[in-house]
Structure formats: C-alpha cells, structure tokens
Amino acid sequence: MGWGKKITAFLKQPYPFYYGGKNFLLFNLLVFLLALAFNYLIEPFNVYVPEHKMDYFWISLIHSFTPIVVAFLLLPFLWNPKNEENWNLGKEAFLLAIFLFLIGLIQFLIRDIIYDNPNNWSWRYFFEEIRNTFLVGIFMLSILLPWNHNRLNRKNSRKAQELGIVNSFEKQKQSPISIKTQLKGDDFDLNVADFLFAKAEGNYVELHVKTETSTNKLLKRISIKELESQLNSIPHIFRTHRSYLVNLLFIASISGNAQGYRLKLRDSEEMISVSRNMISKFENQLKVI
C-alpha cells in the first residue's frame, strides 16, 4: 500500500465527535487551559513589550479565550446527529484547519485592542497571525489527536474483548410479530428468530432476515424508530446506532475502535456500529440477555 492510500485509510478511521453537550464544554475548557499555559508559560513567539497595551498575562488570556469564541461560532454548523456517528479523523482535521484559520483571523482583528502599533492592519500582521496560530495549533494537535485516537482505540478494544460474545444461540420459539408500516399494503409479519438486523435507508428500512440457505433483504417503508418501538418487547432486539437495530443473539464477535464498538453477526458480512453514546446501554443489555 502506497503512502497516499495509507494516509487516506488513516484519515477515514473513526474519531469521536466532541462538539455537543458536556463534551463540547470539556473540549473548550481543555483548549483554553492548554492555550493559556502554552502562551503564558512558554511564550512561543518573540514579543515587543513596549507595544503592549496591557500586561502579558491578560494578552495571553485574550488569545486563549479566542478559540472558545470560534468554537461557539462554528457550533450551529456542526450540530447534526449524523456527525456524531460518522465522524472520522479526516473530518476532524478539516474542521480543525477551519478552526485555526478563524482563530488567526480574530487574533488579527483584535490587534488594536492589544498592541499599540500603527501597522496593525497590514497584510504582514494578517499573515503573521494566521501563521502563528497554525504553528501552535498543528504542534499541539499533532500530539493530542493521535494520542487520543490511540487511547480510545485501546480502551474500546480492551472493553470489547472483555464483553466476549453471546455464546448460547438457540432458535427463539416465538410467534411472528405483525409489523405496521407507513403503507397498509406493505405490512408484514416478522419472525424474530430469523431477524438479523435492520438498517435505516432514508425513509425506508432494509431488513436482513436469515433463511435456511442464505440471507434475504426486505425494503419496507417504516422508520428505524417505528420498527424499534414495535419490537421493544424483545430484549435481544437493540438499537445500537441511529441507523441500526440488531438481534444481539446473532453476534459472532465484538471489536472496538475510537468511536465505540463494531459487531460482526453470524450469517452477515456487514459490520454493525455501536455508537459511543450507546456503549453503556449496550453493555447492560448484553447482561440482560
């Protein structure tokens, strides 16, 4: 495999989405503290003190607060449920590049507040602020991103090994369940004993059902949420992901990655994701069945 393919494969690796809820607040706090410590204690760039309009600590504080402002400006463009479950290293890197550029831009726009310099609004200082922001940002992220990615991979892989698999697989003796779809003529009976998993496909759901010799795919006009609701009495039918409803008794193996778990089912080649926010419920559900 060439370097180009290796880099592409690396960037496509799953990466957790930190831009929502408590994780978003923790992300901002961590960035603020790291930036403040880096700017104030290390002083990465030469500064000309006579130009300062305030003490260097307050200058460092302002520079460190800028990423929080940018993060909140970007938040409305990030808040999409699909992002949390389809995020990867490439998307993270692209977002952070935009993040760093906007930080550098704001640093340039506030130079008059911080520095007494008649050339504050020059192209020289514009490019200097952008350059300095990227130098600091890339240095910190080149350490933090791979470290965090590898940490989460190891953590989830270890937990996945501890979970093991559902070993006692028996034919489930249960009457077929009548499923109501959005089209009356498309209603059907589902034999839970043969149900492998369901996958959301736009306004439809693709059901994978085991037969004696192979696996059939059925496309039904019903949302994954509606299907889950009609099967909620079955403890081993579990929503692992916003796009997947799975029969846990068909699990053949469990592996981990930076975002959560991946399930390999018997009689199926598709790998099923367990999203990060469903890990705890998934682990508890395995104990129940």
Radius of gyration of the chain (CA): 25
Compare 289 and 226 and report the one with higher pLDDT: 226
In terms of C-beta density within 10 A (0-12 exposed, 13-18 middle, 19 or more buried), how is residue 66 classed?
Answer: buried
Q: What is the pTM of this model?
A: 0.68
Compare 124 and 35 and report the one with higher pLDDT: 124
Model pLDDT, residue 173: 58
139 and 231 in a single domain? The answer is no
How many domains does one find in the chain? Answer: 2
Residue 231, pLDDT above cutoff 70: yes
159 and 31 in a single domain? The answer is yes
Section 196-210 average pLDDT? 90
Range of the domain at 111: 3-163
Do 50 and 117 contact (CB within 8 A), yes or no?
Answer: no
CA 263 to centroid of chain Cα atoms: 17
Residue 25, pLDDT above cutoff 90: no
Query: If pLDDT is split at 50, 70 and 90, which confidence band does 104 have?
Result: very high
**Paired strand residues for 201:** 204
235 and 147 in a single domain? The answer is no
Strands of 78-183 (E only): list them.
Answer: 177-179
**pLDDT over 70 percentage in the chain:** 93
Section 170-184 average pLDDT? 76
Section 206-224 average pLDDT? 89
In this structure, what token pair is assigned to residue 108? 């340039």
- Between vectors from CA 85 to CA 158 and to CA 66, what angle results, nearest 5°? 100
Compare 214 and 265 and report the one with higher pLDDT: 265
* Final residue before a domain boundary, out of 132, 163, 194: 163
Query: If pLDDT is split at 50, 70 and 90, which confidence band does 159 have?
Result: confident
Residue 182, pLDDT above cutoff 90: no
CA separation for the pair 24, 31 (Å, rounded): 11
Compare 187 and 15 and report the one with higher pLDDT: 187
127 and 186 in a single domain? The answer is no
200 and 260 in a single domain? The answer is yes
Do 157 and 254 contact (CB within 8 A), yes or no?
Answer: no
**For the segment 122-141, what is each residue's pLDDT rounded down to a tens digit?**
999 999 999 989 988 888 78
Query: If pLDDT is split at 50, 70 and 90, which confidence band does 243 have?
Result: confident
Model pLDDT, residue 1: 57
In-domain check, residue 239: yes
144 and 184 in a single domain? The answer is no
CA separation for the pair 169, 141 (Å, rounded): 45
DSSP state of 122: S
CA separation for the pair 201, 223 (Å, rounded): 9
Which H/E stretch holds residue 255? strand 251-256
Q: What are phi and psi of 156, to 5 degrees?
A: -70, -30
